[in-house]
Chain A
Amino acid sequence: MNLLTVLLLFTAMVLSRVSNLRTAVKILLFQSIMVTVACLQAGWNTGEAHMYIAAVLTVLIKAGLIPFALFRVVKILRREREANPILGPTNSFVASAMLIVMAYWLIDRQLPGVLSRDALAASVSLVLIGLLLIMTRRQAVMQIIGLITMENGLYLLGLSVTMGLPLVIELGIFLDVLVAVVVLVILTYRLKLSFMTTDTSVLKKLKG
């Protein structure tokens, strides 16, 4: 198991504990940089130019524009923090540890003896922990972070099983992720304006 995998899992574990939005964005930034390094490493190993282009895009979009947008919106939100998550810090920490175990179990069962076992398990863990964040956090920004964690996991998965999707598809995915974050940031900002809070538990009017 290499250092990169450990660091990625570490960021995901920590994300399940934090309640300060600014800290969470910082951890996400660190996670995205790790994804870039993984991408560069894959490029180094295979010698494919397309990996380097993907790495540049990852840095630009996931470690540049997305954290920038999130930092800006967090600045406006000031005193917002994850006050009463559905799963408390300790519980969600335990839950994410269990998800990592589950990811290893899944990989060993579906793909026994696969070469990039650790990388695969790490990426599946990222997807699962991202999903956990979306489900158990009430703060809009934390849900966005969960979504990007999930996307990072999927990206790493593609990287480790297939050496990345074809470049044109990958470009499209990057563009979609970027626009998704922009749309969500706009909505978060509007939530703050309309509801005076970005705690999504206030969104319960539409029913039936």
Chain B
Amino acid sequence: MITMREFIILALFLPLLTGTVTMLAAKPQTIKVINLTGSIFTSLTLLAIIYQITLCKVFSAGILYVDYLSAVLLLVVAVLSFTSVLFSTSYMERDLKDGHISLQMLARYYGLLNLFIFTMICVLVVGNLGLMWVAIEATTLASALLVAFYFNRSALEAAWKYVMVCTVGICLALLGTIILYYTQLNVNGNGSEALNWLMLRDIGFLLDPAMVKLAFVFIFIGYGTKAGLAPMHTWLPDAHSQAPSPVSGLLSGALLSCALYVIMRNMIVVQEAVGSEFVHNLLIVFGLASILIAVPFILVQHDLKRLLAYSSVEHIGLITFGLGIGSPLAVYGALLHIVNHAVAKSALFYLAGVITQEYQTKNIVRIRGLMNVSPILGTLFMIAVLAITGSPPFSIFVSKFTLIWAAFVGGYPMLGGVTLLLMSGIFAGMMYYCLRMCFGPTPKKLEFQRVGAPAMAALVLSVGIVVIGGMFLPSWLHTILTQAATIVVGG
């Protein structure tokens, strides 16, 4: 019988092992097989951890700590890391064939991808706010070289802005964490259990409220930068549009959610100390600002991947807004939305990857007649765009509906109404561009190449989850989300 501790260590060890072995492999075929195997085992281990959490509820040993809240995010990472590796195999094969990358770059890509997945798992399994900071900064660094992967001018620009903006942001979060540690020291004197999340939550009501408020402002701005909340989101469209598409999917679905996870962990401690009103107001303001700022950029957009990136800003804003409402229903909706958004948005980024490889452009105006070029891809794209904009009967509709419902019953009918209005604007923008791309005359020069089987599998799997998730929510997921919402609401 493998214990929880061993599962967690295995989940951390597997991506590192896969990455190392990849660097030693010589043939593209070998690299592909190694990574697919490694990814399957990593995801299975993560699922096993989630299963164990449903049995033992909380696991804490040394610096490792997981509970229901981690389980939600572990589920996201488990699904997305698998689909993104699956999609990568076809995507990179095509890039290699088209001569965009060399064999050496292929090995480097998978090495970095595994490192990136490793750092994200790190964020979710440590129970110490200081170590969470270290892990979040590590995700920036691992993904920066993936953003810059093609090393062309725009990729370099995106990567430079990404590292600079996020590192400065994360430095502010460190400042906040140091202040939080200072308040903890004032309570329990010696440095034992320093920044331990459980400990901090339990002594939360003893912490000095003024200092904790100051700390949370810094922490929120810092991790908010990483989560892509407006007005600190400036790096996000650049990085998401320049990274290879499988990485864009991971960045948008998993990394932004991980940053939100750390905000939630800090929030739980802070609301013990200063009450929830201060925290909630901050979240609502930044959440709504993010939705608002995304609208004009979605309505007037020329780049397919930037369109999707701004849609991520909107969704992260919506999740933050949900967390800000703070009722158990709203937090439940927000957590469900994290899962749904991750799956749907990564599917869209993968589709954008296939489309850009086919049309050799990211410019929306030049992409026409997708339905004629490939009816399957066109249909999947239509479904995914309909889903991400919140149309029934897809899974995002359920979580968006829950969030808006929670806003109305939770005492924010005005803000709920405004959000609905903004979302209808986003729906109009996204659908307009989607229909333009799906129909119309096909460019003459285009020769359609069949999409590789692994990529198709990744697409069908992601879109399948989005479709089924709209009609049926497994009871175990419901339990996990309800319990996680209880943890976030506190008390």
Report how far A194 CA is from B160 CA in the complex, Å. 13
On whether A179 and B141 interact (CB within 8 A), knowing A161-B178, A194-B156, the answer reads yes
Residue of B nearest to A198 (CB): B160
Which of chain B's residues has its CB closest to A110's CB? B214
In the complex, what residues of A have CB within 8 A of residue B211's CB?
Answer: 110
Q: B280: CB under 8 A from chain A?
A: no
List which B221-266 residues lie within 8 A (CB) of chain A: 237-238, 241-242
Query: How many Å from the CB of B23 to the closest CB on chain A?
Result: 17
CB-CB under 8 A from B154, the residues of chain A are: 205-206
Flag whether A140 is at the interface (Cβ < 8 A): yes
Closest to A135 in B: B168
Question: Are B297 and A208 touching (Cβ within 8 A)?
Answer: yes
Contact with B along A166-177 (1 / 0, CB 8 A): 101100110110
Stretch from B35-43, B130-138, B328-336, B470-478 at the A interface: B130-138
**Which of A27-35, A64-72, A97-105, A146-154 lines the interface with chain B?**
A146-154
Per-residue CB contact flags for chain B residues 118-157 toward chain A (1 = under 8 Å, else 0) read 0000000000101101110110110011001001111011
Nearest Cβ on chain A to B79's Cβ, whole angstroms: 27
**B145 lies within 8 A of A183 (CB):** yes
Q: A169-B131, A206-B237 are in contact. Are A187 and B160 (CB under 8 A)?
A: yes
Query: In A192-208, which residues have CB < 8 Å from any B CB?
Result: 194-195, 200, 203-206, 208
B194, A150: Cβ atoms under 8 Å? Answer: no
- Chain B binding surface, main DSSP class: helix
Tell whether A11 is near chain B: CB-to-CB under 8 Å.
no
- Let me know if A194 and B163 touch, CB within 8 A: no
Q: How far is the CA of A168 from the CA of B153 in the complex (A)?
A: 38
Interchain CB contact under 8 A, B159 and A187? yes
B186 to chain A, nearest CB (A): 10
Q: Are B194 and A186 in contact (CB under 8 A)?
A: no
Tell me whether A180 and B191 are in contact (CB under 8 A): no
Asked if A87 is at the interface (CB within 8 A of a chain B CB), the reply is no
Report which residue of B160, B185, B195 has the largest number of chain A beta carbons within 10 angstroms of its beta carbon: B160
Compute how far the CA of A162 lies from the CA of B476 in the bound complex, rounded to whole angstroms.
43
Task: Report yes or no: A190 in contact with B178, Cβ–Cβ below 8 A.
Answer: no
Is A131 interfacial (CB 8 A cutoff)?
A: yes
**Could you give, for residues 161-176 of chain B, a 1 whenever the CB lies within 8 Å of some chain A CB and a 0 otherwise?**
1011001100100110
Q: Within the complex, which residue of B141, B168, B175 is in contact with A157, where a contact is CB–CB below 8 Å?
A: B175
Residue of A nearest to B302 (CB): A208
Complex Cα distance, B163 from A203, in Å, reads 14
Query: Who on chain B is nearest to A111 by CB?
Result: B211
Nearest-neighbour CB distance to chain B for A37, whole angstroms, equals 21
A186-B195 CB under 8 A given contacts A140-B160, A176-B134, A205-B153: no
Interface residue B25 (Cβ < 8 Å from any Cβ of A): no
CA A187 to CA B147, docked complex, whole Å: 11
Could you tell me if A163 and B157 are in contact, using CB atoms closer than 8 angstroms? no
Partner of B145, one of A169, A186, A206: A186
Contact check, A169 vs B178: say whether CB atoms are below 8 A apart: no
Complex Cα distance, B323 from A128, in Å, reads: 31
Which A residue sits closest to B177, measured CB to CB?
A: A165
B181 at interface by CB-CB < 8 Å: yes
Q: Is the CB of A184 closer than 8 A to any CB of chain B?
A: yes
Please tell me if the beta carbons of B178 and A162 are within 8 angstroms of each other in the complex.
yes
Q: Does A59 reach chain B (CB closer than 8 Å)?
A: no
11 contacts between A and B (CB under 8 A): A110-B214, A147-B164, A147-B167, A162-B185, A165-B195, A166-B191, A184-B163, A187-B156, A191-B160, A203-B161, A208-B300
Please name the 3 residue pairs, one residue from A and one from B, whose CB atoms are nearest each other, closest first.
A172-B134, A169-B130, A203-B157
